[in-house]
Structure 1
Amino acid sequence: MKEKTPPATVRVFIALAPPDEAKAELEHALGPAYGAYPRMRWNRIEDWHITLAFLGELPVSAVPLLRPPLAALAAAREPVELALRGGGHFDERVLWSGIEGDLEALHLLASDVRALVKECGIAFEERVLRPHLTLARTRRSDPACVVEAAAGLEGFSGRRWHSERLHLVGSNQGRGPGPIHYRDIESWAFGGGGS
């Protein structure tokens, strides 16, 4: 049997993840939308995240360069207090839940993460941070379901929570058909501690 050759690149981003209790609240609020719009490509709940820096396709050899500085950054930082709230959409194609809480600290953390990545010599396209949690996508031919699902989240307000870990995440996006799956490459506790 022929062995699989590991990919030479990996799609990478750095993110925060809501705790299970916060995700369960949002999942409950999405119940009607799951039933009404089964053809939307819903993200797996275990993959829900708030992206701080999207690095794109990187050589696998670049990933180890990020580990020590990200671990040090997390250890030196206090957790950020956040909550999931409401919903919206990008271009009538992407459904998201909004983020509220200490957004100043969230923006500062994202800025520091991005500066650290650049200090590691890793180039990536800077995107404006628009704090959100992506829930689903749909085809351009069916925008009404995203708009209606976002309206259904208008009154949603989740519990406040503290970010527990900084996550370095890899995805299989662009590696064939099927849903996008994410996996932690590594994660580090805020305020001290390891993975």
Structure 2
Amino acid sequence: MNDQTQPATVRVFIALAPPDHAKEELARELRPAQGTHPHMRWNRMEDWHITLAFLGEQPAEAVPLLRPPLAEIAADHQPLGLALRGSGTFDGRVLWSGVDGDLDELHVLAADVRTAVKDRGVVFEDRPLCPHLTLARARRGDRSSAGEIAEGFAGFAGRRWPAERLHLVGSNAGRSRGPIHYRDIEAWALGNGNRTAS
């Protein structure tokens, strides 16, 4: 019998997180739909985030490699002015809220993050950035609920807020059949560097 243990892995992504007041504003808008569509798998409000790079399952030893470059990137980028706006679905099942504001700067930040991750030898699927918050998922076979809810708050326009921290996040997705939970592995303030322009 082979007694070797598999190396520990962690499911990780790099993200921005809206402040509590912005999430609460959207949560109020969603409350009626949560009451009428309890069969949807609603994400916890405290887990809402804007993914910049989804790295998936990685060896645990990859995480320390990411800390220095992510800290440097955060220091080099100023806070972004963002707002939650509109709604939609992916594949008719995944309900999301859109993001508005400093989108050019958001794309530059995401590109820098992805380049730094690749430079550290971390392999991941580099999908095009589509800034959004995932709010809920319909159960398999349900092709109408997410679309109905999205139509109901398509005109939502939240107040602008500053995205001030870059988060390296771990999740328990794929490890159990229970609800997905996220935890900050580390976070860095944006624009916190002492570098001066040359």
Is the structural similarity TM-score above 0.5?
yes
Question: Does the Cα contact within 8 Å between 2:9 and 2:60 map onto a contact in 1?
Answer: yes
Structure 2 counterpart of 1:70? 70
2:35 aligned with 1:35: yes
TM-score, length-normalised on structure 2?
0.93
Partner-residue secondary structure (3-state), 1:159: coil
CA distance in 2, matches of 1:6, 1:184: 24
2:100 aligned with 1:100: yes
Structure 2 counterpart of 1:61? 61
**What residue ranges of structure 2 are gaps of 5+ in the alignment?**
194-198
1:133-174 residue CA offsets vs partner (Å, 9 max, x unmatched): 000001231121101110111111000011010000000000
**What residue ranges of structure 1 are gaps of 5+ in the alignment?**
none
1:74-126 residue CA offsets vs partner (Å, 9 max, x unmatched): 01110111100011000111000000101100001000000000111111111
CA distance in 2, matches of 1:20, 1:54: 23
Measured on the aligned residues, the alpha-carbon RMSD in Å equals 1.4
CA distance in 2, matches of 1:170, 1:145: 29
Question: Does the Cα contact within 8 Å between 2:33 and 2:149 map onto a contact in 1?
Answer: yes
CA distance in 2, matches of 1:183, 1:49: 11
Question: Aligned residue pairs: how many?
Answer: 189
Aligned-residue identity in percent? 68
Structure 1 counterpart of 2:169? 169
Deviation beyond 6 Å, 4+ runs, structure 1: none
Partner-residue secondary structure (3-state), 1:154: coil
Structure 2 counterpart of 1:150? 150
TM-score, length-normalised on structure 1?
0.94
